[in-house]
Structure formats: structure tokens, C-alpha cells
Amino acid sequence: MTKRIIITSNSASITASITDIPEVPYSSGSILVNKTGSWRFVTPVFGPRPSPCNVSCPLANPIPEMMRHVTKGEMEEDARLFALENPFPAILGRVCPAFCEETCNRKEFDEGISIRAIERYLGDYIVERGVIPERRPVTGVRIAVVGSGPAGLSCAYFLTLLGHSVTVFEREENPGGILALGIPEYRLPRDILNKYISSLLELGVEIITGAEVEDTIPALKTAAGWDALVIATGAHVPKRLGIKGEGDFALSSGLDFIKNYHAGKIGQMRGKIAFDKRREHRRRHGADSPAARRRAHRDLPRGSGRASRLRRRGEGDEG
């Protein structure tokens, strides 16, 4: 038998089945857990929180702002914003390990955004159009930078934008440091690097090559007119394996290999940089060279997906 209830008011009464009444949530517990009395005095505070991609980026690039400008087609604004934070976006857009893509929020839905590819496109835009932030008034401060690698050139870039006079001293005959010596040309075309160096020269940076650090630093200490000295000689000491014959030329590091490459001296290579050098050697000469590693494939460090690509192209590694 269906229960019926009667709902009455001052003017009318309604008779209905209990099943006609919609369900209403209720709680049989105490309402003391709802601290409504104290909540009425609490004001929400809104503050900026960095995005995961921004936190993962070693340069803390303004990635959300970059993406916002790109989606709106505001390339000029985006280029000027990025040039204030990143001196070489066209270079990093080619060689950066892209930590930002690993923590991209979009991965929760399908896959991370190709931030590095967008950075490369934006960097090429900056290089082609010569986008350089406005330089501050000249301060009269003279600063010497020893080393023209990524650290030295970045230092010269930002110090010059601040209005200082910067002179870079480089040991090699060509500036660039590890960018020119440690990265194969198929990954970082030399014309891209040269365009950046030319833009630094146009900005007012002076670069002196063929300057040995042993002679440069003592001379700068005794010379008058320098207000600061920045030592950015880079990390040119390779990691050692601790094996017999490692110091012989027959077994050379990647940096030693690339320095001697154009002299026609080819030795054995080690480390994941060996895959880069091996590909470069194959591209230029059509000849293969063996590469061995001390780790199992599953234990290779980040960025070693190059080994898998080499095997698929018939340039597989051993060990």
C-alpha cells in the first residue's frame, strides 16, 4: 500500500504520494564541523602560482606568457618578452632537453605541448628580424668576461643591455665555446650561432679571440680601467671512466674528438655525446664507427633516446 501524505497551508491542502516528493540530502551528524562563524571573517587571498613548466625550466622562461602571445598571433610582443629573459632562444629551441614538456599540465589529458618547438620558432623569428631589447643608457662601467661559451655570451648580453661596456676574451679562434665545440652542426647549425654572435657585436659587445686565460687574467688584474672581471671558462673537463689507456689519444672524450675532428684525427668516443659525434661522422663521410657504453640501455640518462634512433637507422650501438 502506497503511503500518502497531506501538505496543508493557510489557503489549500495537497494530497500526494511519498514517491512524488523529490529526494533531499540531509545529515544526521552535528553541524559544529561547519565553522561558519569564523568563516564570515576570512577573506580569500589570490596570488600568482608558477606553472609546472615554468618551475621545471632552468632559465625560468615565461612559458605561459609566451604561449598566450603565440595563440593570439602577437609574435612581436612575444619576441620582445622572450628576448628579455632568454638571450639564445633559437639555440635552446634546438638543443634544450625540454624539462618543461615533462611536467606540462596537458599530459593529464593527452600529451604535453611541444614547448621546445615553439621556442625554436620564436627564436628563429627573433634572429630573422633582429629583435633586440632596448639598451639602457651607457653607464661607463667596463667589464671583462673570460670565456665565450653560453655563460660568457649570456653574461655579455645582459650586462650590455644594462648599459655596461663588455669585452669577451676567448681562447679559441672562434667564439661560441661548447656551442661550437661540443654540439654537432646538424643539431645546431653554425649560421644560427654566428647570427647570434653578430647580433652581440652589433649590440656593442667586443670579442677578442686567441686569448689564453693564463695570460688574460693576470693582464686584466694589472691593467687600469676595468671595473669587474667575470670568469666563465665553462666545463671543458670531461668525466673519466677510470680505465686503462684512457689518457691515450686512441680513446678520446667527445670534446677532444670534436676539436681534433677537422684535423682528420678520429679516435674512439665515450658518453652519450658519442652518439652525436658518430652521427656527424656518418653524415659527413658515410662511414660508420663503433660506439660502446658502460650502462645498459634502460639505465641511460635522460636524452639518450638518441641511441634508439641510431639503431633504427642502422647506426646501432654496442654494449
Residue-wise pLDDT tens digits, 110-125: 888 999 999 999 999 9
Closest CA to 90 of 53, 126, 60: 126
C-alpha 202/C-alpha 217 separation (Å) is 26
The tens place of each residue's pLDDT in the chain, 319 residues long, gives 555 656 565 666 666 666 777 777 777 777 676 666 666 667 778 887 889 999 999 888 889 888 999 889 898 888 888 888 888 999 999 999 899 999 998 888 888 899 999 999 999 998 888 888 888 999 999 999 999 999 999 999 999 999 999 999 998 888 988 888 878 788 888 899 999 999 999 999 999 998 887 777 777 776 777 888 898 988 777 777 777 766 665 566 766 777 666 445 554 444 455 555 566 666 655 555 555 555 565 555 554 455 555 455 554 443 3
Considering the domain 52-129, what is its CATH architecture?
Answer: Orthogonal Bundle (1.10)
Every domain of the chain and the residues it spans: 52-129, 142-231, 254-312
Look up residue 313 and give its three cell numbers.
Answer: 637507422
Residue-wise pLDDT tens digits, 243-282: 776 666 556 676 677 766 644 555 444 445 555 556 666 6
Cα dist from 1 to 4, 16, 18, 62, 187, whole Å: 9, 14, 11, 69, 82
Considering the domain 142-231, what is its CATH architecture?
Answer: 3-Layer(bba) Sandwich (3.50)
Question: Model's pTM, two decimal places?
Answer: 0.68
Cα dist from 205 to 65, 86, 201, 242, whole Å: 29, 17, 5, 41
pLDDT, residue 270, reads: 47
Greatest Cα pair distance in the chain = 108
Q: Dihedral angle at the C-alpha atoms of 51, 55, 56, 60, nearest 10 degrees?
A: 110
C-alpha 198/C-alpha 132 separation (Å) is 12
Beta-bridge partner residues of 318: 292
Residue-wise pLDDT tens digits, 278-305: 666 666 555 555 555 555 655 555 544 5
Kind plus residue range of the DSSP H or E element containing 165? strand 165-169
